[in-house]
Amino acid sequence: MSSVRDLTSNISVIAGRVNGNRVGGSTRMLHGPTGDLVAHVSLCGIQDVDAAVDAAADAQHAWRRTPAPRRGEVLSRAAVLLAQRRAEFATTITLEEGKTLREAGAEVDRAIDYLSFFGAEGWRLAGQEFANLEPNLRITSRREPLGVVGLITPWNFPLAIPAWKIGPALVAGNAVILKPALEAPGPSVLLAELLESAGLPPGVLNVLVGDGGTIGAAVVAHPGIHAISFTGSTEVGRRIAAVCGQRMARVQLELGGSNATVVLDDADPDSAADLIARSAFGLTGQACTATSRVYCTPGIASSLVEALVARARSLRIGDGTDPSADVGPLVSTAAHARVADIVDTAVREGAVRHGRGAAAPPFFEPTVLTSLPPDAHILQTEVFGPVVAVVEVPSLEEAIACVNASRYGLVASILTNSLSAAQTFTDEVRAGTVKVNETTTGNQPNVPFGGLKDSSNAAFKEQGSVALDFYTVSKSVYVRW
């Protein structure tokens, strides 16, 4: 049993890890979305940030000299251990963040895939040799780690997002300071312990548990941290970029989304409703890739709305630990208030609300909004709840214009049987990921992921082999003999 969980009770005791040791000071209670006490959290202080950076810098010297395939083996072994502890990790995610156990299990599976993929990348790290005109000169380039990197991750995927950042950072030879969201820190601490069990040397991965305003800010500003990878809100991302820019630190930002699905007349309304419901209501809508906008052409609008509303009303709302629940709670009552305000604003603007009826906080009923004005607030904001707005448009061209009118550009999809329409859509839509006859949610570990506009700084993609670009620097080497 992991040291994260107190053996004398059913309540977790969560603390940070620095150089393989538990750290923390003052404690606070961590309540799950439904108000149950699920953990006591020992909060790190500023002194722990300095200690973590020192430990990481010391450990990184030996870690960077470890052959890349050996570094990858640690990740591969961790993937095997994580599969063996799937139920434990899934339960921790559900208790802290609120996902249904089915969704939490799927998140664990994604983390296993990320660790496995980046473990194999240890065998593929390579440089390049350049042609030149001189016979006694050899010119090559190689990829080297940055040193110590800081990772700041959100609560909505408390295991998968740390895994997809930790994987490339470690296999590239960096040491890591991970600052998980305080709403759900347990999976990150468990993951760090698991990686140490898989052979990761102490100090190579350190976890700081604390709030973003103090611990997160200290990580971003620390001169000993050479890069920051952040997933979270656009507003916080802008502040992080400004701080990193001042001290010339590399920064990677994966931010918000207001993702759209376009449905053309030739699509099947029932199949379209199924895909949209999964994208909009799955994970309680608490995913940056969730569908919150639907643009449909006139021939399918009525039947699509009817089918989508039927699916919204059929989903069972319940506590994440209830195996029969389709939709779990929002992460907090504050999140519920925010989503409720977005929906109420839409109704005041003229929207018609469809659903099963109000649910008690923090639960929020799957909701479909229709008859929205073109300038409705919900069409320009990240909802982060099980709510989707459906807008009728006259043509594919108008649908593309509406998709592109958002300040976000993370994911967009089109549902159609027309190859020509699909090609036009993929060519013209401004988004980091474009899908045809697919949900906006979901991505594979070997495929680059990242957005445009306010969804990302677009400098470095995450996931796939290109994820290593952020965590490495190219060194050119000239050798004459």
Residue type, 433: T
What is residue 369's three-state secondary structure? strand
Distant-in-sequence, close-in-space partners of 10: CB < 8 Å, separation ≥ 6: none
Whether this model's pTM surpasses 0.85: yes
Judge residue 132's burial from the number of C-beta atoms within 10 Å of its C-beta, 0-12 exposed, 13-18 middle, 19 or more buried: exposed
Closest CA to 232 of 297, 281, 175, 183: 183
- Mean pLDDT for 182-201 is 98
Residue type, 90: A
Q: What is the pLDDT of residue 10?
A: 58
Helix (H) or strand (E) holding 8: none
Closest CA to 158 of 69, 283, 63: 283
Q: What is the pLDDT of residue 343?
A: 97
Closest CA to 77 of 206, 204, 188, 196: 196
Judge residue 428's burial from the number of C-beta atoms within 10 Å of its C-beta, 0-12 exposed, 13-18 middle, 19 or more buried: middle
| Cβ proximity of 203 and 55 under 8 Å | yes
Determine the Cα–Cα distance for residues 52 and 61; give it in Å rounded to an integer.
15
Residue type, 423: Q
Residue 424: count other Cβ atoms within 10 Å of its Cβ.
Answer: 16
Determine the Cα–Cα distance for residues 258 and 440; give it in Å rounded to an integer.
11
pLDDT in tens, 356-368: 878 899 999 999 9
Determine the Cα–Cα distance for residues 433 and 428; give it in Å rounded to an integer.
12
| Cβ proximity of 82 and 173 under 8 Å | no
- Tell me the domains of the chain and their CATH numbers: 12-255+456-480 (3.40.605.10), 259-444 (3.40.309.10)
Q: What is the pLDDT of residue 12?
A: 76
| pLDDT > 90 in the chain, percent | 96
What residues act catalytically?
A: 288
Q: What is the pLDDT of residue 13?
A: 86
Mean pLDDT of the chain, nearest integer: 95
What is residue 433's three-state secondary structure? strand
Q: What angle do CA 334, 340, 345 make, to 5 degrees?
A: 130
Query: Which residues are bridge partners to 388 per DSSP?
Result: 368
Helix (H) or strand (E) holding 35: none
Judge residue 201's burial from the number of C-beta atoms within 10 Å of its C-beta, 0-12 exposed, 13-18 middle, 19 or more buried: middle
The answer on pLDDT for 4 being more than 90 is no
The answer on pLDDT for 390 being more than 80 is yes
Terminal-to-terminal C-alpha distance of the chain: 58
Determine the Cα–Cα distance for residues 329 and 363; give it in Å rounded to an integer.
4
